Amino acid sequence: MLQRLLKLLLGQRSLRQAVPDLDGLLADPAGRLAARAVTIRPPRLWWAALAALAANPAAGWLLFESWLAVWIGAGLGLVEALVFLLVLPPKVGTGVRLDRDGLELSRRGTVVRCPWALFAAPGSLLDESGLVVLVPIHPGAVEDIQTWRPDQPARQGDPDPRLLKIGPDATARFSGFFSVPAGALFALVRRLAQVLAAGTPQAAPGLAPVVRAAAAPAPLAPGAAGPALGAPVAGGWIELPVVGLIFPAECSDCAAPTNQVLEFAGGVRFGWLLRLAGGDWAVGLQVPVCAACARRYRTTRRRGIWLGLLIGLGLSLPFAVLGLGLDEIGRAMMVVLGLILGPLVGWVVASRLGLPVHLRRYRPIRRTVQARFKRPDFAGRIQRGAG
C-alpha cells in the first residue's frame, strides 16, 4: 500500500492509462504507428505538489499554532509545488516516443533513438523494482542506435549512458524516471519489436538479417522437457537466472497458447522489512499467462478484499456494540481497524492463491531468483537465451 501511495505521489500511471488505444496498438502495430506515434510524456508530480501545498501549512499550525507559521508554511509549500511541477520533470523525467521506426527516449535535451531490431531478441527482461531494466538485445543492431545532444552532431552506435548502457552480455540497461512502470513499458516495446523489426519496409537497412540470425534455442515439442536450467532447491524450488529466459508460448497455468505475459515479483531475503518501511528490493519476472487466467487472478483478489472486509467488520462490530470494557473512542477504533486490516489481510492472502509461479530470494549480485511453478512440466521447458 505504501508503494502504491509512493507511485501516486511520483506521478506514475498504468500503461493502459498512458496508451488508451493499447488494444489497437497490439492488434495492428504497423498500421497504428504509421498513422500516429505513441508519446508518453515525463511524469507530472501533481499529487506531490498538492501534498506539499497541504502539508506545509498543516505542519506550521500543528507545530506552532500560529497563523504566521501557517502563512510561512503555505509559502514554502508553493515553492515546493513549483519545483515538483516545473523543475524536476524536465530534469529527471524520461520521455518516450514509439513510432514505426523504433523507440525514442529523451531527457534534458538528449535524445536516443533505438531501432526495433534492437529489441527483437529472445529471453526475459529484468525489472528491478522499476529502477533498472535489463533487456536482451541483438548486438548487431547496436551500431544503428542514434544519439542527439544539444549543440552536438548526431552520433551513431554510441548511446548516452544516462539513458541506455550496453552490457557485455547482449543486454541493454535502461534507467530512468518514467511515468509508467518500466517493466510494462519495455515488455510492450519487445512485443511490438517482434512484429515490426523484421521484414518491414520501415526497418533500417541491414537490420532484418540480424533479426533472422537470432541465436535462439530450437523450440521444444509440446510436452518435451529441455535440459535442467535452474539449480534445484528443497521444497520444489529452483534457482533461475532473471535475464534471458525463454518461456514456452503457452499459459504457465492452464497450458493454453498465448503471447501475453503477467509480471510476478520476488523480493530479496527479509525484503518484508523493507516493505514495512515503504521500500523494496525486488525483481519482476514476466511469465506467460493467458487473458482468462489473468482475469481469474484479479477476481480472486477482489473477492479476498470483500471477504476480508466482511470478516473484519464481523470481528470488530461486537466490540463496538457490546462495548466489552471499551469507551466510545475504543469502540470507534475497533471498527476502523476492522475496515482497514480486514481488506488488507484479505488482499494479501488472496494474492498468493492459485498463482502459476511463486518467487522468492532474489539475489541482485548473482541475478538469480528462486521460483516454484505450479506446473513442473512448464518449468522443465524453460530455456536460456541472451543475457
Pairing relation of β-strands 164-166 and 126-128? unpaired
Entry pTM:
0.66
Taking a C-beta distance cutoff of 8 angstroms, is the pair 122, 77 a contact?
A: no
Beta strands in the chain (DSSP E): 38-40, 95-99, 102-107, 110-115, 126-128, 132-136, 146-148, 155-156, 164-166, 171-175, 231-233, 237-241, 245-246, 261-267, 282-288, 357-363, 368-373, 383-384
Q: pLDDT tens per residue, the chain (387 residues)?
A: 445 555 655 667 888 888 888 888 988 898 899 899 999 988 877 878 888 888 888 888 888 888 888 899 999 999 988 888 887 776 778 889 999 889 999 888 889 999 999 998 888 888 766 667 888 888 888 888 989 887 777 788 778 888 888 887 788 888 878 888 888 888 899 889 988 886 543 333 333 333 322 333 344 444 444 444 556 777 788 888 888 788 888 999 998 998 888 888 887 776 666 555 545 567 788 889 998 999 999 899 889 989 988 888 888 887 777 766 667 777 778 888 888 888 888 887 888 888 899 888 888 888 888 999 988 888 888 887 655
Domain regions of the chain by residue span: 19-41+93-212, 46-92, 231-384
